[in-house]
Amino acid sequence: MNAIDRTPADLLRSSLAVDPARPLVTFYDDATGERVELSVATFANWVAKTANLLQGELAAEPGDRLALLLPAHWQSAVWLLACASTGVTAEVGGDPAEADLVVSGPDTLEEARACAGERVALALRPLGGRFPQPPAGFSDYAVEVPSQGDRFTPYAPVDPAAPALIVGGLELSGERLVERARADAAELGLAQGSRLLTGLGYDSWEGLSAGLFAPLAAGASVVLCRHLDRVSEDRLRERIESERVTVTAGRH
């Protein structure tokens, strides 16, 4: 994307300026049959609402650490970019007891209760559905986010040199993350309009890069597949063809 982009939020703004209607994230959950496709504009709208929730309702500040206890999912991608937009450090799989706030999926709620700060829970249901019964001690993301503003402006500019992401013991600033994402995109052969299919988890840099940051840096899009191990080779070939996939980055 733009050579002057120095944070993941910059990459998203550049993508929005170039072609807001193109697909950015196409998500499959092969345990439920869910398929969701988000254009750049729709994804950016979710990011703006989530960043407003972070900065406003949750009072998160630049430098705060957020423990992100979510699987590879389109809503996880939204949270990663919302953190980058506010200057909050996203620690994927981080210890909630040491975090300023925590964002948890339905399977890690007990672990997330160790956080003394704000707690947000995601049901991860199709179409971003809410919990039938909100978990005690948590804000339900699906209840809180719709009323947030569609445009986001940080209270203070995000420092590209500040920590932006921690995953698997690796800590990256915003500018270093962008540099690595661009390098990974080149290594994967991604270009404007490429379609990358990945079944990698979000618990490693490799999975996060393939599943979000490298396609974003290249002006490409990602077909993000959860539970891809449940898909037969024939069905996978059909998906690759129907989704016009040009690059793959992980069967499981």
Cα 247 from Cα 252, distance rounded (Å): 15
How far from 175 is each of 3, 50, 84, 167, 179, CA to CA, in Å? Answer: 12, 22, 11, 16, 6
Predicted pLDDT at 252: 43
Crossing angle of helices 74-86/40-52, nearest 10°? 60
CA distances, 106 to each of 82, 86, 130, 131, 159 (Å):
20, 25, 11, 9, 32
Distance CA 198, CA 176 (A): 23
Q: Give the per-residue pLDDT at 1.
A: 56
Per-residue pLDDT of the chain (252 residues; tens, 9 = 90+): 566 899 999 999 999 999 999 999 999 999 999 999 999 999 999 999 999 999 999 999 999 999 999 999 999 999 999 999 999 999 999 999 999 999 999 999 999 999 999 999 999 999 889 999 989 999 999 999 999 999 999 999 999 999 999 999 999 999 999 999 999 999 999 999 999 999 999 999 999 999 999 999 999 999 999 999 999 999 999 999 999 999 999 754
Q: Are 69 and 104 contacting, i.e. CB atoms less than 8 angstroms apart?
A: yes
Domain architecture of the chain: domains with CATH = 8-248 (3.40.50.12780)
